[in-house]
Amino acid sequence: MFALVDCNNFYASCERVFQPRLEGKPIVVLSNNDGCVIARSNEAKALGFKMGDPYFQVKHDLQINNVQVFSSNYALYGDMSRRVMWYLAQQVPEVEIYSIDEAFLDLHGMEKYVANDLDAFARTLRTNIKKRTGIPTCVGIAPTKTLAKLANRLAKKRPELGGVLHLRSEARRLWALKQVAVEDVWGIGRQYAAKLMAAGIYTAADLANCSDAWARKHLGGVVGVRLVQELQGRVCQGLLPSEDGSLSRKSISCSRTFGQPLSAFNDVLAAVAAFTSRAAEKLRRQGDATHLMTVFLSKNRYGLEPPPYSCSTVITLHVATSDTTELLRIARMALKRLWQADTRYTKAGVVFDGLEPAGHAQLSLFESAPDTGKRDRLMVELDALNRRFGKNTVRLATTLTGRGKGRAPWEGKAQWCSPAYTTRLQDLLTVY
């Protein structure tokens, strides 16, 4: 058995924990740059606000409905997430942190520790998470991860289930499959949903009745086969390593939409340099080096201009590196290659691929190992200082613009960001 524990409306719930007066009130949280709606409380959902709604389009409706608006506060959400996950890790032998607000638990063999009553166990988890962190959750329990997802979804949609649904029998599984529309199945996106409906497949139950051959042909090959089998109760996926040191990403990126369109090379360079530094930090944190760096620039996609809206260039490094100074040199080179004068750029980003463990760089026959000792030590110190004294305490000059201190021109708006209540001493709540 697997369980999926999912926090309800996580970002909105995090904000509510520190502003209880918002209980029962509509809340939305906006993306970077206060661009779109990315999270909603149930009340905001009921008012018809959608995921991805551009803020400027719904601003008026939000106001007249008295919806509380927040900019995203990842310092807060990340820390609250860690608290929830830490608690779960104490309760079961194996946890997969699937996303910032969801975790799969492996319950195989747990029955004997919880008196054969997984439902009661799940209810205890919910109660304790709420008590310790203030975050409401729902739990789905089923023989496969895909069914656990589905059970979780129903637990969330049907208040009468009390936040927990356990697909303990075949009859229960068949009942649950009939309740869920095919587009709400984990792994069915917009394209597949349209294809399935055209083929007369409307519910998860219909999908579970498809043959392996049909799934292979129409749902992306083996991925589709696994999906259908998991709905039938046949286990195709186990728990994966998660964000706890055992997880090693295969690519690392950092990108942002600018606060305003930029046309000056040095302004965009400052942005690309800042993203490069950030991505290099992530790279070093997982102990890797990259030998493939992509830099991309984007233009406004919503205007009258025809595509292409973005251009990119890939640079292959002969010796993999995680040294920020070296990566900055390459980023500048890539940017020069892409640059077109008189263009209003709206976004930029960098991606590192071809990752390998640092220090094990393959040298070709005639290359000698470059002297990287000093640089490595510099990076270790840099990361240590920033960890200890906060992000960007020490950084490289390229990430600054010629304009001196203050906000960089690429930085976006975050007009309604709540305090970092749990990670910043000055932001600690005072209760009178």
Partner DNA sequence: TCTGGGGTCCTAGGACCC
Contact between residue 4 and residue 139 where contact means Cβ atoms under 8 Å apart: yes
Cβ proximity to DNA, 114 vs 286, nearer residue: 286
Q: Who contacts 263 (Cβ-Cβ below 8 Å, separation ≥6)?
A: 341, 342, 343, 344, 345
Contact between residue 150 and residue 133 where contact means Cβ atoms under 8 Å apart: no
Give me the least distance between CB of 405 and DNA, in Å please.
23
Which residues in this chain contact DNA in the complex, by CB under 7 A?
31-33, 35-36, 38, 51-52, 54-56, 98-102, 149, 185-193, 220-223, 249-257, 260-261, 282, 292, 300, 302, 314, 316, 346-347, 349, 354, 412
Give the position of tokens 């008295």: 66
Cβ proximity to DNA, 187 vs 233, nearer residue: 187
The DSSP H or E segment spanning 19 is none
Contact between residue 206 and residue 200 where contact means Cβ atoms under 8 Å apart: yes
Cβ proximity to DNA, 378 vs 414, nearer residue: 414
Kindly compute the dihedral angle of the four CA atoms of residues 49, 50, 52, 54, in this order, to the nearest 10 degrees: -30
Tokens at 231, concatenated: 């709905």
| CA atoms of 153 and 162, how far apart (whole Å) | 12
Cβ proximity to DNA, 378 vs 412, nearer residue: 412
Cβ proximity to DNA, 183 vs 427, nearer residue: 183
Q: Specify the 3-state DSSP secondary structure of 407.
A: coil
Q: β-pairing, 137-142 with 2-7? A: antiparallel
Give me the least distance between CB of 227 and DNA, in Å please.
9
Cβ proximity to DNA, 189 vs 200, nearer residue: 189
Tokens at 61, concatenated: 């409706």
Give me the least distance between CB of 111 and DNA, in Å please.
27
Q: What are phi and psi of 425, to 5 degrees?
A: -55, -40
Give me the least distance between CB of 425 and DNA, in Å please.
26
How many C-beta atoms surround the C-beta of residue 266 within 10 A? Answer: 13
The Cα angle at residue 423 between residues 421 and 428, in degrees rounded to 5: 40
Radius of gyration of the chain (CA): 24
Give me the least distance between CB of 232 and DNA, in Å please.
18
Q: Specify the 3-state DSSP secondary structure of 267.
A: helix
The DSSP H or E segment spanning 68 is strand 68-71
Give me the least distance between CB of 184 and DNA, in Å please.
8
Give me the least distance between CB of 120 and DNA, in Å please.
26
Strand partners, 70: 29
DSSP assignment of 355-392, as one string?
EEETT-PPPPTT------HHHHHHHHHHHHHHHHH-TT
Tokens at 21, concatenated: 């007066």
Cβ proximity to DNA, 95 vs 185, nearer residue: 185
Cβ proximity to DNA, 194 vs 380, nearer residue: 194
| CA atoms of 361 and 376, how far apart (whole Å) | 14
Cβ proximity to DNA, 11 vs 421, nearer residue: 11
Cβ proximity to DNA, 312 vs 418, nearer residue: 312
CA distances from 329 to 256, 313, 336, 425 (A): 20, 14, 11, 36
Give me the least distance between CB of 109 and DNA, in Å please.
26
Give me the least distance between CB of 56 and DNA, in Å please.
3
Give me the least distance between CB of 374 and DNA, in Å please.
28
Give me the least distance between CB of 392 and DNA, in Å please.
15
Contact between residue 10 and residue 70 where contact means Cβ atoms under 8 Å apart: no
Cβ proximity to DNA, 257 vs 343, nearer residue: 257
